[in-house]
Amino acid sequence: MKKDKPKEYIYIGQYLPESKTNTCKIGKTNNLERRLKEYNQTTGLSKTTFFQYLFTCEVKDMTQVESDIKKTFNGFREKRSREIYFYSSEFFKQYVEFIKFHKLFLEEIPVKTDESKQVIKIIKKTTPSLKERGLTRKDLLQKAQKIKNDEFYTRYEDVEKEIAMYDKNIWKDKVIFCNCDDAVDENDDRNTSAFALYFMRNFKELDLKKLICLHYGGGIDLFNQGAKGYAFIYIVTKDGFKGEKIYPKNFTGSFDDPLSLKILNEEADIVCTNPPFSRAADYWKILIESGKKFLIISNFTNVITNSFIPYFYENKVWAGYNRVDWYLNPKKQLVDASGHWYTNLHVTNRVKYKNLKIMPLKEIPEKHKKYDDSKTLLVDNNYIPKGYKKPFAVSAFPILSGVLEKGYKLIENKEYYPYINGKKRFARVLVQDIN
């Protein structure tokens, strides 16, 4: 008699206890029950460590599906050589959605692991399919990319270099709020965000009153801080420095959680962080509406992007001193991205003023000035026409070099797209000489 081909499965599993839940394993097997037992044997069937399935499904070709998962979520793997992936509730959703939408996916086999007997029970399917949720594979990939883009960590030296530019007195007796800071491990600097570390190390020097940092429970958890949101509060008492983590009930640690908003509006004096790229527009709105002082890192191109231009137009934000080109990824490797400091703190003697080449239009080299189809002047390479009384279009560079502090103003609160010979060019903004 012909033997049935064994069924093939993909699973996502994880070792408990909770302190280890910042990673998960995504693997393949043709025997879910045996695999579970094997994993629990590797832990010595310990009473405190236990491997459980979070998701299991049957697929047509497990090797192919597993390889596609590796390719898609390569940046989410703890080590290239292993099938251990970063875990958070948001990431887990991504993995599951990707698998369920794979063309070789057959059906979900929801199982419940019985801890005492190390056996699995098939239970009723409850989660809606991607189709039912109106999602496509492209949506999933974009979502994964978005999360990946958020996981850029600021280097200590970049925080130090920027803060050194401001008058030290502005920090005196202030409550500093780092509301996208993910981590504080008082016993391990490597597990602490650069912002938190900087303010703790310089607490006395800056004469701060309090430091509050939030840990967001839904992110990649680079610093192994767990899936629960918390607020870290650091103060100085008569016995020395005191840091405490509080885990309010149902607190997500998100900057827009009701408790985070309360801290922002009622307690914070200066907000300092590098917020997630994917939520930058919401973040800026909340922050600027709070009316609080801030010093944050965001994308270099915000000054020429519709969601942000109105704040520059209304003079509610301006460039800080430095650009930030290097960050650390979740594997703590250097990665480049174009960021810049933005602030509403007083900025004086910008070093970048020297980049601006302000001169009469006729002195600007021909190759750096042209007119678009609507006869609007476009200048580049930081050339700025002096005494030219009509609006002209510039890129992000002169704005970040402080041209708006040199007698020029934004004349529209939105992007300007030049067309040259009918062809759309990169976004710019329109400015005008008001000297």
Ligand X SMILES: C[S@@+](CC[C@H](N)C(=O)[O-])C[C@H]1O[C@@H](n2cnc3c(N)ncnc32)[C@H](O)[C@@H]1O
> Which residues contact ligand X by CB under 6 A?
150-154, 180-182, 193-195, 216, 219-220, 254-255, 273-276, 279
- Which is nearer to ligand X, 86 or 408 (by Cβ)? 86
How far apart (Å, rounded) are the C-alpha atoms in residues 46 and 40? 8
Written as six digits, the tokens of 419 are 């067309």
Sign of CA dihedral 211, 215, 219, 222: positive
- Which stretches does DSSP call E strand in 275-363? 293-299, 318-328, 334-343, 357-360
Nearest to 157 by CA among 326, 19, 331: 326
Nearer to ligand X, 111 or 287 (CB): 287
For residues 96 and 296, which CB has a smaller minimum distance to ligand X in the complex? 296
What angle do helix axes 89-101 and 62-72 make, rounded to 10 degrees? 130
**Given the complex with ligand X, which of 56 and 225 has the nearer CB atom?**
225
229 Cβ contact partners less than 8 Å away, ≥ 6 residues apart: 214, 215, 216, 217, 247, 251, 252, 253, 254, 257
- Give the CB-nearest residue to ligand X: 219
Structure tokens at 243: 């840091």
Instruction: For ligand X, give the closer residue by CB, 40 or 343.
Output: 343
Of residues 8 and 185, the one with the C-beta less far from ligand X: 185
Look up residue 70 and give its two tokens. 């590796």
Backbone angles phi, psi at 424, to 5 degrees: -70, 130
Cα–Cα distances in angstroms (integers) from residue 278 to residues 49, 143, 216, 263, in the given order: 35, 9, 14, 22
Q: Are 15 and 70 in contact (CB under 8 A)?
A: no
CB of 224 to ligand X, least distance (A): 12
What single-letter amino acid sits at 378?
L
Least spacing, CB of residue 340 vs ligand X, in Å = 13
Query: Quick one: how far is CA 170 from the chain centroid?
Result: 27
Rounded CA-CA distance 366/343 in Å is 35
C-beta of 51 vs 152, nearer to ligand X: 152
CA neighbor of 233 nearest in space, from 274, 181, 172: 181
- 3-state helix, strand and coil shares in percent for the chain, rounded to the nearest 5: 30, 30, 40
Reading the block at residue 292, the tokens are: 């609080």
At residue 191, φ and ψ (nearest 5 deg) are -105, 30
Quote the crossing angle between the two packed helices 89-101 and 137-150, to the nearest 10°.
150
- We find the least distance from the C-beta atom of residue 132 to ligand X, in angstroms, to be 26
Considering beta carbons, is residue 39 or 153 the nearer one to ligand X? Answer: 153
Distance of closest approach, residue 268 Cβ to ligand X, in angstroms: 14
Nearer to ligand X, 256 or 405 (CB): 256
Closer of 260 and 382 to ligand X (Cβ): 260
CB count within 10 Å of CB 147 equals 22
> 286 or 431: whose CB is closer to ligand X?
286
